[in-house]
């Protein structure tokens, strides 16, 4: 189930769910796979700030082919988990997408609402193709079906932090991915 993660002052870093070596091994595999699928192309990666920044930085270095990238930042209109799921663009792309093979790089797909809305937005910009890579997938929380082409790890419905993922803007710099302990 999906839930609203209310801000807690008692939270603490819980056990490691995915350690740094496990993450790097999987990113090497993803990088080779995506590079293989893009032979002869110059994909244009779009990393979703801020959460995907660290994953993106490692992923591009695991892709041995010419590419370009850009960044976008989005926020939801309501709180996390609201049904509208409409995203607000906080920082837009610099480059247009026409005639580009776009690969959207996300940190985590939870309800899928953010990604769904973002995909609709990007499709209106007429890319040649649009694929999605997400480091983490929480299938149990999905509210809307979004086809994700490449997934790093399927994880249980827990709140995780580290390796770019935050809780109230903190913990992004943890090298491993941890379960956050809300101490209730
Ligand atoms: P969705 O719209 O419910 O799929 O949520 C997408 C966004 O919620 C992600 O891009 C994250 O910023 C945030 N999010 C969802 N689950 C987690 C989590 O377990 N840890 C940290 N952020 C999360
Ligand atoms: Mg976040």
pLDDT for residue 149: 98
pLDDT for residue 83: 52
Alpha-carbon gap, residue 89 to 72, rounded angstroms: 7
Instruction: State whether the beta carbon of 51 lies less than 6 angstroms from ligand 1.
Output: yes
The residues, ordered by sequence, that sit 6+ positions from 64 with a Cβ below 8 Å of its Cβ are 31, 32, 35
DSSP 3-state of 177:
strand
pLDDT at 1 over 70: no
Ligand 1 centroid, distance to 175 Cα (angstroms): 18
Which atom belonging to ligand 1 lies closest to the Cα atom of 158? Answer: 19
pLDDT tens sequence across 50-99: 999 999 999 999 999 999 999 999 987 655 545 555 789 999 999 999 99
Q: Please indicate whether residue 110 is annotated as part of the active site.
A: yes
Beta bridge partners of 5: none
pLDDT tens sequence across 142-165: 999 999 999 999 999 999 999 999
Instruction: State whether the beta carbon of 111 lies less than 6 angstroms from ligand 1.
Output: yes
The residues, ordered by sequence, that sit 6+ positions from 128 with a Cβ below 8 Å of its Cβ are 98, 99, 100, 101, 102
Instruction: State whether the beta carbon of 73 lies less than 6 angstroms from ligand 1.
Output: no
Please report, rounded to a whole number, the percentage of residues in the chain having pLDDT higher than 90. Answer: 86
pLDDT tens sequence across 94-122: 999 999 999 999 999 999 999 999 999 99
Alpha-carbon gap, residue 28 to 132, rounded angstroms: 17
Q: Are 171 and 162 in contact (CB under 8 A)?
A: yes
Q: Would you state the structure tokens that stand for residue 183, as one six-digit string? A: 């101490």
Alpha-carbon gap, residue 141 to 89, rounded angstroms: 23
Alpha-carbon gap, residue 47 to 52, rounded angstroms: 6
pLDDT tens sequence across 7-48: 777 899 999 999 999 999 999 999 999 999 999 999 999 999
What is the radius of gyration, based on Cα positions, of the chain?
16
DSSP 3-state of 70:
strand
Can you say how many angstroms the Cα of residue 122 is from the centroid of all Cα atoms in its chain? 15
């Amino acid at each position: 189930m999906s839930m609203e993660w209310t801000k807690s002052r008692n939270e603490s870093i819980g056990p490691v769910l995915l350690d740094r070596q496990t993450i790097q091994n999987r990113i090497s595999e993803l990088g080779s796979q995506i590079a293989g699928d893009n032979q002869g192309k110059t994909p244009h990666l779009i990393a979703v700030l801020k959460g995907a920044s660290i994953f993106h930085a490692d992923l591009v270095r695991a892709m041995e082919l010419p590419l370009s990238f850009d960044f976008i930042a989005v926020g939801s209109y309501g709180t996390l988990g609201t049904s509208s799921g409409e995203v607000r663009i906080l920082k837009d792309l610099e480059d247009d997408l026409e005639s580009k093979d776009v690969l959207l790089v996300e940190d985590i797909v939870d309800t899928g609402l953010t990604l769904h809305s973002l995909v609709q937005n990007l499709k209106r910009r007429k890319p040649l193709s649009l694929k999605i890579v997400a480091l983490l997938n929480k299938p149990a929380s999905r509210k809307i079906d979004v086809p994700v082409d490449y997934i790093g790890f399927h994880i249980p419905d827990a709140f995780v932090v580290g390796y770019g993922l935050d809780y109230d803007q903190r913990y992004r710099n943890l090298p491993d991915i941890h379960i956050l302990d809300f101490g209730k």
